[in-house]
Structure 1
Amino acid sequence: MRPIDLAREHGLSAQAIRNYDDAGILPPTERTDNGYRRYTPAHAQALRAFLALRAGHGHERAAEILRSCHRGDTESAYRLIDATHTALHTERGTHTDVATALDNLSATPPDPIPGRPLTVGELAHRLGVHAATLRTWETEGILRPERDPATGYRHYRPDAVRDAEIARQLRRGGYPLARVAHFLESLHEAGGTEALTAFLTAWQQRLNARGRALLSGAAQLDAYLLLCERM
């Protein structure tokens, strides 16, 4: 088969196939006497596997999975696959924790002392973190406490308490600070309760779609490995 023969199935260009070949995503390719690349059904299945894996693992990890298989190092390929599944499992737990935190905040007053916002120490105690952690989150743009005009002390109103609760769950889920800040910014843009529910639903749908993509990628990779075993 020629590059264009592989490309047509996926709506790609022949140059894209050559690029994947040069990147080691396809198995080693034979060439004709005049230098043209010759592809086999194994190359076609490797391409299907890569494109399916890419949807769940991302471009770089999918490429490394295929390269590992081409080297005969399936152990490394399986480790890479396991790492993605572990990360997805962790994110599912984070989604559940964030949704629970939001439910709890809506069901119970975030301020244990009615009529007064929380201080740094009170919020730190509520979350089980150090006060210095809250200051770091503020520096990173995660929290935006108010300041007492007379003393300069930080005050955390219910919306800031909610943000801190969510930040704690996301950090437990392994989210870096920059990503936590971006998440909360998106949450603020979502607005009220209905928009927040839609935000969480969309997140869940993305998790489910990625899980399905991982299944599809595994099926195509398995088909490629079986084909290689029979050759």
Structure 2
Amino acid sequence: MRPVELAREHGLSTQAVRNYEDAGILPSAERTAHDYRTYTPLHAQALRTFLALVPGHGHSAAAAILRAVNRGAVDEALRLVDESHGQLMDDRRTLRTVDTALRDLAPVPQERGDTFIGPLAGKLGLRPATLRKWEHAGLIQPRRDPHTGYRVYTATDVRDARLAHQLRRGGYRLEQIAPLIAQVRAAGGVGPLESTLRDWQARLTARGRALLAGAAELDVYLRARTP
């Protein structure tokens, strides 16, 4: 088939098809006596495979997978596939940890008055130095008593400290926790983040389905290349 015929099936330009071949995503095409490219059903399946892999793996990883297959490095291609599945699993664990941490804080406890660093550290089973470190990282923002200079923690500060404690126990670094705490603070609590968690879950589900669809096309392509 001609480049235009291969391109038309997917709404691509003929130049895009040539670029994919030049990038190693498609196998090298045969040339006519007049140096025109000619493509086969194998090229068509390679293109379908690449386009099916992109939604789950991303453009760069999908291209790397096809290049590995086309040079006969099937094990390398499968390793790249496994990496994407591993990343999805890591993202699912992160979502579960964040969801659990937020639910453990709902409803936000209503403390009676403000508290100080010693009592709060004792309540959480932490050292005061840990709370000071979290403050420096932006996880909590206690105010200072204008007369004594002591740190004063409100109910909101206690909530943020409890959330940070939950996530730290889940193995997350301070730089990973800080954006979530900031989002909770901006939302005015954990309740408004329910929709964010649902959207996050929906994106992970869509990515999982995309990985399955890509794997199906990749299997077809691998079979087609088997002598």
Q: TM-score range by the shorter chain?
A: 0.7 to 0.9
Relative to 1, partners in 2 of residues 1:52 and 1:172: Cα closer, same or farther, differing over 3 Å?
farther
Mapping for residues 66-215 of structure 1, pairs under 5 Å: 66-107=66-107, 109=109, 114-117=112-115, 119=117, 122=120, 126=124, 131=129, 135=133, 143-152=140-149, 154-163=151-160, 180-184=177-181, 195-215=192-212
Matched with 2:18 is 18
Which segment is superposed worse, 96-105 or 116-125?
Answer: 116-125
Q: CA deviation at 1:85?
A: 0.9
Q: CA deviation at 1:69?
A: 0.8
The question of whether the paired residues in 2 share the 8 Å contact of 1:140 and 1:181 is answered with: yes
The SS at the match of 1:60 is helix
The question of whether the paired residues in 1 share the 8 Å contact of 2:124 and 2:162 is answered with: no
The question of whether the paired residues in 2 share the 8 Å contact of 1:94 and 1:170 is answered with: no
1: CA distance between counterparts of 2:107 and 2:138? 26
Which segment is superposed worse, 84-93 or 188-197?
Answer: 188-197
2: CA distance between counterparts of 1:210 and 1:77? 19
Q: CA deviation at 1:186?
A: 5.1
Mind listing any 5+ residue stretches in structure 1 that lack a counterpart?
Answer: none
Which segment is superposed worse, 86-95 or 139-148?
Answer: 139-148
1: CA distance between counterparts of 2:119 and 2:28? 62
Mind listing any 5+ residue stretches in structure 2 that lack a counterpart?
Answer: none
Scaled by the length of structure 1, the TM-score of the pair is 0.79
Q: CA deviation at 1:3?
A: 2.0
What are the superposed Cα offsets for residues 21-55 of structure 1, whole Å, 9 maximum, x if unpaired?
11111112222232222211111111111111110
The SS at the match of 2:9 is helix
Which segment is superposed worse, 178-187 or 30-39?
Answer: 178-187
Amino acid across the alignment from 2:16:
A
Q: CA deviation at 1:183?
A: 4.8
The SS at the match of 1:52 is helix
Scaled by the length of structure 2, the TM-score of the pair is 0.80
Identity between Structure 1 and Structure 2 (%):
51
Q: CA deviation at 1:109?
A: 2.7
Q: CA RMSD in A?
A: 3.3
Number of aligned residues: 227
